Chain A
Amino acid sequence: MTGIGAVFYRDYRQRMTNIGFVFWDLFVPLAYLVLFGIGFERMLGSTIPFEDDSFSYTEFFLPGVLGMVTFSVAMNTAWGFFMDKDSGIFYEMLTYPITRAQVLIGKISFNVLLAVIGSILAIVLGVVAMDIRIRWNLLPLTALIVVAATAGWFFLFSVFAIKLARMDSFNTVLSAAYILLMFFSSMFYPLSDVPGWFRVGAYLNPMTWQVDLLRFSLLGVGSANVLLLEGAAVVVFAAICLILAVRALNRAG
């Protein structure tokens, strides 16, 4: 087994041994889609207007659920990373005959696989059980966005996992990230109706870029200029987070 393969297998065994992780990775986003989606759909009426078109709330929300999947998977893996540090195994791993890059690649590979599985489950649930119509021809683009976003979130949270020494500090960062990045974005509501300050803040949030791109790839909505800018921003965000994570990992110990 190669170094990357061994790190991948390690993360796989961690998830399989602790099934609670899988609940948070996969089932919480699906529960959001079903419970939150149906509840809001009933409250808001049959359709909501969005970008010169109209959608059911669950249709509008499905790309947000995919964003939630990438976010949850990355957050759980970063939490595992922090636990590795807390248990001392993180420092022991620095003595193993694998490079820091192999550790990150092995981890991100498993994360991406998990996020893709979660996204497929959400799409299948939406299409089969909730009658959501998606653009099948753009599924490869959807997969690409899921991969890039999962990597970006994982690298971002890894920096905090490596740098922060105290668990309460790390949990506070994760909780704040959960509230701010998910609710201060276009995940749950169209940004056209929110106050100006909210809209400006939301457009600075990588989650908005990711969800807007997913809305385009799944529903075919969005302005081309904005989407191009957001696509570039997601790539830059993931690249910057990767650099920060590698630097943090190289300085660890």
Chain B
Amino acid sequence: MYEWGSRTILKIQDFARGNKMSSLINAIEVEDLRKTYRSNSSEPVRALDGVSFAVPQGRIHGLLGPNGAGKSTLVKILSTITPLTSGRASVMGFDVSRHSLAARQQLAVVLQQTATENLLTVKDNLLIYAYLHGVKSREAALRMRALAEEFEFEDRLRETVQELSLGTKRRIQVAKIFMLDAPVIILDEATTGMDPIMKRRVMDRLRTEARNGRTILLTTQVLGEAEELCENIMIIDQGRAMASGTLPELRKLSTHIFRVNLSFAETNGDLVDRLEALKPEHLRVEANVVEMLFRGEEASLLGRLAEISRELPILQFEVHGPTLEEIFIALMEEKK
């Protein structure tokens, strides 16, 4: 165990790294976190209303939620940009309110807004970012060259960033975090505006970083990205945690949603009508292949599908749990 904000955490951290016991401690801890924005002109806005969670070291944790759910506020509090109203939050054991500088020393952050040094060259963007985080100049130069190759901007190092496209600026912004060894990476919708190949490269790199013991907190609107990357996911809305856990755990929360894939040997004119009579949430028929999404009990549906199969033989039948997107939408609808 360790005390909040105590320097002893560093010893534990070093020990954990050295002994590959990184999952023993929580890199991020948030407890009953509340944030209220007050202004003279309007009613106070409760952006966070008692959120609690912990992210063990070396894990990729996803934060999902609709626009205005409180994700960015949470990121801003963890990265010490915005003060919290009550509760507590720590990064690698350092309380973000009481030991904000020590907390920042543990962090590499990509904010939602594109943040690049537009008046500087790409090279200076990377080097100065590293210097501002205390990386020595020789080490910074080596890392910059490696990143320029990995993220394919070697030929643009001397260009000023204001001349680049939005996607390239985003690539530079995300590449910067790999200039650092900070144990915690926070990414607020970091892959927005990136092309799919670069997005894939960033995701692969994040997986590698997590395997090497770095902790990653990721907010995203691209649910497929969270599904693929995150070991733990928390869904928040209106400042409250609605659900959290691994993807299989979240699926258990939505057992009444399931996806059915069918392949028929042959079809006839009234197949679509008969399938629509089953009242799926979603139905897609392409030639002999059918994909349906249901909400309700599986057992009753199976009996009715068996009736259909007597006239139109089914070659393949698969039942899947819901995707993260379906869980997310179902939770949002339940809340409404």
A residues adjacent to B (C-beta < 8 A): 1, 3, 5-7, 9-10, 13-14, 17-18, 80, 83-84, 87-89, 91-99, 253
B128 close to chain A: CB less than 8 A: yes
Q: Is the CB of A87 within 8 A of B115?
A: yes
- In the complex, what's the smallest C-beta–C-beta distance from A70 to chain B, in angstroms? 22
Jot down 7 A-B pairs with beta carbons below 8 A, ordered by A: A6-B128, A83-B118, A83-B119, A87-B114, A89-B118, A96-B132, A253-B82
Task: Please indicate which of the listed interface residues A3, A5, A93, A95 has the most CB atoms of chain B within 10 Å of its own CB.
Answer: A95
Tell me whether A96 and B128 are in contact in the complex, defined as CB-CB below 8 angstroms, given that A13-B120, A87-B117, A89-B116 are known contacts: no
Across-interface contacts of A1 in B (CB, < 8 A)? 131, 134, 136-137
Across-interface contacts of A10 in B (CB, < 8 A)? 117, 120, 124, 128, 131-132
State the CA gap A93–B128 with chains docked (Å). 11
The residue on A at minimum CB distance from B110 is A92
B residues adjacent to A (C-beta < 8 A): 76, 79-82, 101, 104-105, 107, 109, 111, 113-121, 124, 128, 131-134, 136-137, 160
**Which DSSP category, helix, strand, loop or mixed, fits chain A's interface?**
helix
State the CA gap A241–B120 with chains docked (Å). 28
Q: Is the CB of B111 within 8 A of A97?
A: no
State the CA gap A217–B116 with chains docked (Å). 43
Q: Is the CB of B120 within 8 A of A88?
A: no
Across-interface contacts of A7 in B (CB, < 8 A)? 132
Across-interface contacts of A14 in B (CB, < 8 A)? 117, 119-120
State the CA gap A98–B101 with chains docked (Å). 7
Q: Is the CB of B104 within 8 A of A97?
A: yes
**Which DSSP category, helix, strand, loop or mixed, fits chain B's interface?**
loop
Across-interface contacts of A80 in B (CB, < 8 A)? 119
- In the complex, what's the smallest C-beta–C-beta distance from B41 to chain A, in angstroms? 15
Q: Is the CB of A95 within 8 A of B132?
A: no
Q: Is the CB of A92 within 8 A of B160?
A: no
Tell me whether A91 and B131 are in contact in the complex, defined as CB-CB below 8 angstroms, given that A1-B137, A97-B104 are known contacts: no
The residue on B at minimum CB distance from A87 is B118
Across-interface contacts of B115 in A (CB, < 8 A)? 87-89, 91-92
Q: Is the CB of B79 within 8 A of A99?
A: no
Q: Is the CB of A17 within 8 A of B131?
A: no
Tell me whether A94 and B117 are in contact in the complex, defined as CB-CB below 8 angstroms, given that A1-B137, A7-B132 are known contacts: no
- In the complex, what's the smallest C-beta–C-beta distance from B219 to chain A, in angstroms? 15
Q: Is the CB of B101 within 8 A of A9?
A: no
Tell me whether A17 and B160 are in contact in the complex, defined as CB-CB below 8 angstroms, given that A92-B115, A93-B132, A96-B132 are known contacts: yes
Residue from A17, A83, A87, A95 in contact with B124 in the complex, judged by beta carbons closer than 8 Å? A17
Task: Please indicate which of the listed interface residues A5, A7, A9 has the most CB atoms of chain B within 10 Å of its own CB.
Answer: A9
